[in-house]
Structure 1
Amino acid sequence: MPWRTTSRLGTFCGVFRRQALDRGAMKLAVNKIATGHNADDIAETILMNILRGDIARLKRCTSIITGDESDENEASTIPRCKPLKYAYEKEIVLYAFYKRLDYFSTECLYSPNAYRGNIRTYIKDLERLRPSSIIDIIHSGEQLIVKQTAKMPVQRVCERCSYCSSMPICKACLLIEGLNKGVPKLGIGKTERYRKEMQKQDQCCSDQSLCHCMKEKLTVKEKD
């Protein structure tokens, strides 16, 4: 990655992966997507959403099926089901090992530095003190009720790629724009700040004497 900070690299992977699943399922005419999220994953997501105060995601992260017709605020175009919701990660690994099943066991290189990585470490520490912590967190998340008065994001269609989004331009398009303009970190931040920075970037690039992109290109040519 073109910048040193790795704490939010999972943003790119998550955004593009979710959209790829939806687009691939649509091409195959699939009516549901079964994911391998286990109890450890669900507990991590619940705790992440609580700490971030993310009301919109807090409700659906505990549901076994999300994105159905009754879920008006779900961003996915195709319903997802999580059949392994109450299965521990270690149980799944032991089963795969016992049955000699092939499974992907390599951990992402950036996960220890990601926000989820910190939450995972915290939950593992809790497990040492209270072995039932993971299931306890899941049950607690299921009992949390979002008030009807809470303001939820309205789903719309992305102006660029026509993918469903809660913003005029979806997150994937914002990330791609940031990458193309050489400022990938901006696509991770808040949308309003991102737009302002993009406007500054466009104004800068309109004046070649100020444009950093043009200066970098000239420097490369001189070296060649």
Structure 2
Amino acid sequence: MPPCSAKCGKNAILKRPKTGDVLCKECFFEAFENEIHFTISRAKLFRAGAKVAVAASGGKDSTVLAYVLKLLNEKYDYKLDLVLLSIDEGITGYRDDSLDTVKQNRDDYKMPLKIMSYKDLYGWTMDEIVAEIGRKNNCTFCGVFRRQALDRGAALLNVDYLATGHNADDIAETVLMNILRGDLARLSRCTSIITVMQPAQSLLT
């Protein structure tokens, strides 16, 4: 393996497509964390003292998001109040393992966790919805319900921000879907780093 581009004396283990740098593990972590801090600072994503809910699915993206926000919050003293917000769709055998991961995140990162279910929010589990409407287009229904459930959960927790762990593939997929649909309104805002949530009172009606 070639030597690390950061000239730390170690061998590189990966090449970053964004910059072309080849980095060892430690230097990659440092570069990754520095870029996130730079983005938060430049875009003024959070105000000091704000309450932030991290949308936690138990997957790698939201787990890394929770970890790095906690790390940077402590390192740079953002003064954020961080909580984990997870959604249980009520799909038998689907969410159980990932909810266990979220609970482990809660313990590891010492962050409060709120799990909200479709049953609590809508009076139906996703299994019950599928039993009524059938399997056709049920993923579309679930995606809409899940996003609204996160917004409603954030409103119930009275948070100032809801942070989601979307990656570049997610953004690219959203852009392509909006192009194919001809949805210019959504296309113009789908790559924004900040979106505005609806007022809590409208979410809870």
TM over 0.5: no
CA radius of gyration, larger in: 1
Q: Which structure shows the bigger proportion of residues in strand conformation?
A: 2
Q: What TM-score does the superposition give when structure 2 sets the normalisation length?
A: 0.32
Q: What TM-score does the superposition give when structure 1 sets the normalisation length?
A: 0.29
Greater RCO, 1 or 2 (C-alpha within 8 Å, sep 6+): 1
